[in-house]
Structure formats: C-alpha cells, structure tokens
C-alpha cells in the first residue's frame, strides 16, 4: 500500500543489512568456543544420544529464499557425528509451540537437502497436548515437556535471536505443555524484565539442565534483502519513490486480489546471518539478541502521539495464510509494538492506526479456533466472558484432537494472542483500523473502523491535538525500535 505521510511525520526505517557470515563455519567455531560452559566436544564425549531442538522459521514474517538456521542445524548434526553421535542416534525435535503442527513436507523444508540425504535418525513434532509429556522434575506435573528432551544424553537448541519469546530458552518452552505456554507473555519483546514468558523459559531451561546437558546455538540474523523493483526497500528512501512511481506498481494495485496474492508470493527476500553464538541457551540467546538489536534497530528520540502500522497479508506462523482480524491485531499490537527498548513508542493514551481490511476470513481448518472471538457475544473486552470461553475451548476434546492431528492451531493460541495485545491496549487511548471492510469485526475487538489512512490521521489529530506527532512504521518484517523516554 502506498500512503502519503504528512511533512512533519516521523518515518521509522531500519538500517541496511549487515555483512553476512559463513553460517556453517561460524557454527562450528561457536561449538568449539562457547560464551560460557563446556564446548560441544566435552558434552558429546559423554553422550550416546542427542536431541537437536529447532523452531519453524515463522519469524521473520515474509517469504525468504533460504533460512540460515538450516545451515546451522546441518553443522550441529555433522559436528555431533564427528564426535561419535551418529545420525541414527540423533533426534530432530520441531518445537512449534501452540501453532499448527508441521506436516511431513514442511519438516523437509526445515533442513538442507544434504542433511535430508544423510540423516537416519528420528524426527519428532512437538504435541503440546500429548498426555505422555514428561514432568520436570520427574513426577512433577506443573511443567511438562516433550520426552525427547529428557530421554536423551544431550540437548542442542538451534534458533535465531528474534525476541525474548522466540529462540533460545523460549524454544524449550515451545516444547512444553499448552497450559505453561499459555502464560508466556511479555510487555516488551526485547527486554527480559517484566516478561513472564522469559521467566518461564529460563525456569524450564534450569530445571532441564539439572537432568540433561544443554547447549544453545543462536543466530544473529540480518534484515532481508529483496531483488528487482524492491531492491533497497525499506532501508533507502529512494526505493519508496521508485516503487510508488513504477508502472508495475500501478498495474499491481489495479489487479484483483486473486492476482495480487500469487504475485506477492513470488517476491522472496534473501536472509543472511551476521554471527553465530553458542553456550547455555539463555546466555547465547541474550547476547545474540543484544547484537541483533544493535544491528537492526531504528532510533526514536521520543514517543509518538500516533503511529501508523502496516499489517502484512500473512499469518505469523506456518503455513502462510491470510490473517483473520485477531491475528492482524496481534501482528500490530503484540508483535510490531512489542519490539521496543527503554520506552513504549507511543505516549500514554496515544493512537495506533492499523492498516488492514479486517475481513472475517478464517483459513480452514487451520484458523478454526479463532472463530470463538467473533461469535454473537463480544468476548474480547469482557474478562468474565473471555475466561468462560477459554475454559470451554480448553475442555473441547474435538478441538484439541484437531490440533493433535495437525489440522488446526491449538485452541488456547487465540487467547494467548489476545493476551499478548494487553500491554499495548492498556497504554493506548484508541486503536483505529484504516481500510476496514468489516466494521462489526473491528468493534467486536473494541477498535474503531476508519475508511482510510487520511481519515484516521485527521481523527488522531482531533484526539491528540493539531501538533500531534505522527509516525509511520515501515514493515514487514518488523524491526527493533529504541525509544528515548523524552523526560530529559
């Protein structure tokens, strides 16, 4: 979407991608010289079995030609084999959290073709509702994890440093029971303080480390680069002008949606890694996340009165599908607005404008559990109705079985997605949906439907004053924002 920003608007854009590193070589170096703890050579010397925990590449949002995590997974498997743990004794555990369980074809895309040819071990996809999950410590029902994490001699976590809730110890949390994962929330996705999700993740790591040796491999990912017409976007202002004036863009805007979506699917970016770190999962992830923030962040000198956020036409998990209204809200309020450090990017009682059509489209059967938020009763802003609805879906055996069969997301995921929006909603005065086509769906979530961005900006200035500071967040993929408090 092309929009005209006011002359006094603040346009937030990330820096250009950093220099790429050889992921395979960097991973082997990190395994030999971890930030803390023992190297892989020492840990594998006492192991006859090993579990490699990996995450589906849902973040960053968007189509990528290749994912550097695949190369790191292959390097870890090869290093284990060289140290005596043959692939027949290795297990690949896909920790997908509460999202739909990946299929056999999707599993193949998580590793390199070379690893697929030589790997003869076991591949497991985590089931958050499996009654056979193992309690940690043994016999304790409070936190239960996949048995592949305890019935082994060594666990290696391979992930990317995206947020405090994605990667590192959070990958272990994504292999826990659904009730534990439901409590994983955070006010800021880049700060560990006040994050219940980080506390739970590190608790799982510490408890598991008392039983099994743990090692984490964390990648610092660069921003993606796009070819052709999109080259330089969103890092170079000249790229925006080139795209806006291109005849191809005009023809694209005039095409029906059935033509636009397949064309967007062909625009694939290239993602590279800037560094690879190893050590205890929390240590490696925290250091990698700090490096990623410095590499990819934008700076904001003071909070804004209103912020315009573009919502992509894809879900934040696999498979990539059209987001329903709740997922669109989650992408803007929980994910994009959660990537801040030092201060929230919008002033108290400020305005957020989400640019999305907000149509009640639910990809079947994957997004079936999200229907509960858009029935006759508006449950989103009523705590009593919300709790009753969550208790009902948690006890719905058919919904849980559909998740376990790999057809839908877990029935608790919509409630966690909405809970993740709570920190932003508690700070904001209003949320406008610019371009909304379903006003009823907008109001069911407690938002305000607006015809377009121009009308939303006029309402924001009417609410915050004619001198209101307006910001535009270029996305996706979303990027960290470091905010000065403005108190000085």
Contact 292, 161 (CB under 8 A): yes
Distance CA 449, CA 441 (A): 9
Pairing of strands 50-54, 90-94: parallel
Q: What is the pLDDT of residue 485?
A: 66
Confidence of residue 368 (pLDDT cuts 50, 70, 90): very high
Q: 243 lies in a domain?
A: no
Residues 303 and 214 in one domain: no
Is residue 191 over pLDDT 50? yes
Q: Which of 221, 256, 285 represents a domain boundary (last residue)?
A: 221
Give mean pLDDT, residues 186-200: 94
What share of the chain has pLDDT > 90, as a percent?
75
200 and 305 both lie in a single domain: no
Whether 280 is in a domain gets the answer no
Cα–Cα dist 56/54, whole Å: 7
In a domain, residue 390? The reply is yes
Position 367 in a domain:
yes
Average pLDDT, the chain: 92
* 155 SS3 class: strand
Among left, alpha and beta (phi > 0; psi -120 to 50; other), residue 73 is alpha
Give the pLDDT band of residue 105 (cuts 50, 70, 90). Answer: confident
Which of 61-65, 334-338, 362-366: highest mean pLDDT? 334-338
Do 176 and 304 lie in a common domain? no
For the record, the structure tokens of 361 come out as 């489209």
Residues 208, 328: one domain? no
Distance CA 221, CA 236 (A): 19
**Residue 140 banded pLDDT, cuts 50, 70, 90:** low
163 and 39 in a common domain: yes
Mean pLDDT over 16-21 rounds to 92
73: pLDDT strictly greater than 60: yes
CA 306 vs CA 3, 8, 484: distances in Å: 16, 12, 16
Identify which has the larger pLDDT, 261 or 3: 3
pLDDT tens per residue, range 401-424? 999 999 999 999 999 999 999 999
- 92 and 205 belong to one structural domain: yes
Per-residue pLDDT at 384 exceeds 90:
yes
- In this prediction, residue 185 has a pLDDT band, given cuts at 50, 70 and 90, of very high
Mean pLDDT of 70-94: 97
* Rounded distance between C-alpha atoms, residue 171 and residue 457, angstroms: 39
Phi, psi (rounded to 5 degrees) for 335: -90, -60
For residues 472 and 353, what is the distance between their CA atoms, to the nearest angstrom?
9
Model confidence at 102: pLDDT above 70: yes
| Model pLDDT for residues 298-310, shown as the tens digit of each residue | 999 999 999 999 9
Tell me, what's the pLDDT at 6?
Answer: 87
Same domain, 196 and 99: yes
Out of 194, 221, 248, a domain closes at 221
pLDDT tier, 46 (very low <50, low <70, confident <90, very high otherwise): confident
Continuous H helices in 378-452: 383-394, 397-404, 413-427, 439-444
Domain hosting 384: range is 297-483
Where residue 153 falls among pLDDT bands split at 50, 70, 90?
A: very high
CATH number, position 335: 3.90.226.30
How would you write 336-351 as a 3-class SS string? HCCCEECCCCEEEEEE
If one counts the domains in the chain, the total is: 2
- Note whether residue 369 is domain-resident: yes
61 and 195 share a domain? yes
Token pair, residue 211, equals: 């039983």
Q: How confident is the model at residue 350 (pLDDT cuts 50, 70, 90)?
A: very high
Q: Which of these ranges, 54-63, 107-116, 193-202, 216-225, has the smallest mean pLDDT? A: 54-63
What is the model's pLDDT at position 488?
Answer: 38
Shared domain check, 156 and 39 = yes
pLDDT of residue 261: 74
Residue 143 lies in a domain: yes
Q: What is the CATH number of the domain that holds 44?
A: 3.40.50.11440
Is 3 inside a domain boundary?
no
Mean pLDDT of all residues in 353-369? 93
Q: Assess if residue 154 is contained within a domain.
A: yes
Provide mean pLDDT across the span 191-195.
Answer: 91
Dist. CA 186–CA 192, nearest whole Å: 8
Nearest CA-CA partner of 70 in 7, 116, 31: 116
Q: What is the pLDDT of residue 219?
A: 97
Cα within 13 Å of Cα(257), Cβ side: 4
The predicted model gives 195-205 an average pLDDT of 95
Residue 238: per-residue pLDDT: 87
Residue range 229-236: average pLDDT?
Answer: 85
- For residue 319, what is the DSSP state? S
Q: For residues 27 and 160, state if they share a domain.
A: yes
Together in a domain, 447 and 310: yes
Confidence of residue 137 (pLDDT cuts 50, 70, 90): confident
Instruction: Please state whether beta strands 214-221 and 155-160 pair in parallel, antiparallel, or not at all (unpaired).
Output: parallel
What is the arrangement of strands in the sheet containing 214-221, beginning at the earlier edge strand? Answer: 122-125, 90-94, 50-54, 155-160, 214-221, 273-279
Rounded mean pLDDT, 33-48:
95
Which of 58, 13, 96 has its CA nearest to residue 478?
13
Structure-block tokens of residue 279: 């050590």
Same domain, 344 and 211: no
- At 472, the pLDDT band (50, 70, 90 cuts) reads very high
Pick the last residue of a domain from 199, 221, 243.
Answer: 221
With H, G, I as helix, E, B as strand and everything else as coil, classify residue 205. helix
Q: Which helix (H) or strand (E) holds 154?
A: none
- pLDDT at residue 486 above 60? no
């Amino acid at each position: 979407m092309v929009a005209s920003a006011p002359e006094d608007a603040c346009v937030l854009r990330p820096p250009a991608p950093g220099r790429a590193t050889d992921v395979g070589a960097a991973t082997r170096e990190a395994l030999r010289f971890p930030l803390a703890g023992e190297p892989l050579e020492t840990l594998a010397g006492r192991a006859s079995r090993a579990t490699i925990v990996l995450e589906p590449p849902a973040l960053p949002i968007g189509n990528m030609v290749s994912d550097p995590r695949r190369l790191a997974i292959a390097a870890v498997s090869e290093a284990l084999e060289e140290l005596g743990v043959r692939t027949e004794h290795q297990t690949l555990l896909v920790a997908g959290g509460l999202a739909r369980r990946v299929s056999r074809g999707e599993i193949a895309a998580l590793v390199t073709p070379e690893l697929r040819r030589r790997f003869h071990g076991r591949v497991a996809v985590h089931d958050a509702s499996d009654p056979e999950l193992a309690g940690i410590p043994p016999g304790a029902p409070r936190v239960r994890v996949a048995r592949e994490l305890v019935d082994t001699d060594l666990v290696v976590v391979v992930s990317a440093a995206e947020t405090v809730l994605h990667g590192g110890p959070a990958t272990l949390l994504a292999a826990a029971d659904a009730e534990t994962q439901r409590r994983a929330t955070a006010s800021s996705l880049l700060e560990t303080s006040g994050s219940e999700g980080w506390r739970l993740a590190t608790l799982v790591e510490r408890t598991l480390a008392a039983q099994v040796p743990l090692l984490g491999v964390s990648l610092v990912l660069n921003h993606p680069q796009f070819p052709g017409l999109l080259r330089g976007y969103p890092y170079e202002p000249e790229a925006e002008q080139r795209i806006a004036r291109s005849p191809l863009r005009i023809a694209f805007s005039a095409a029906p949606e059935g033509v636009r979506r397949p064309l967007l699917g062909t625009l694939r970016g290239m993602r590279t890694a800037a560094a690879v770190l190893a050590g205890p999962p929390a240590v490696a992830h925290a250091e990698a996340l700090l490096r990623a923030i410095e590499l990819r962040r934008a700076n904001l000198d003071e909070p804004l009165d209103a912020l315009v956020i573009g919502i992509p036409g894809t879900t934040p998990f696999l498979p990539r599908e059209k987001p329903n209204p709740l997922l669109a809200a989650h992408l803007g309020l929980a994910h994009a607005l959660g990537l801040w450090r030092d201060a929230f990017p919008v002033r108290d009682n400020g305005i957020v404008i989400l640019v999305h059509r907000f149509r009640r489209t639910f990809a079947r059967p994957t997004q079936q559990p999200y229907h509960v938020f858009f029935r006759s009763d508006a449950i989103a802003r009523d705590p009593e109705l919300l709790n009753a609805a969550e208790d009902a879906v948690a006890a719905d055996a058919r919904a849980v079985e559909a998740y376990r069969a790999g057809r839908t997301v877990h029935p608790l995921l919509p409630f966690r997605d909405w809970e993740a929006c709570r920190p932003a909603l508690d700070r904001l005065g209003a949320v406008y949906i610019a371009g909304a086509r379903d006003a009823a769906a907008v109001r069911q979530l407690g938002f305000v439907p607006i015809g377009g961005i121009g009308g939303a900006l006029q309402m924001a200035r009417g609410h915050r004053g004619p001198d209101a500071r307006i910001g535009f967040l270029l996305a996706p993929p979303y990027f960290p924002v470091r905010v000065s408090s403005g108190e000085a």
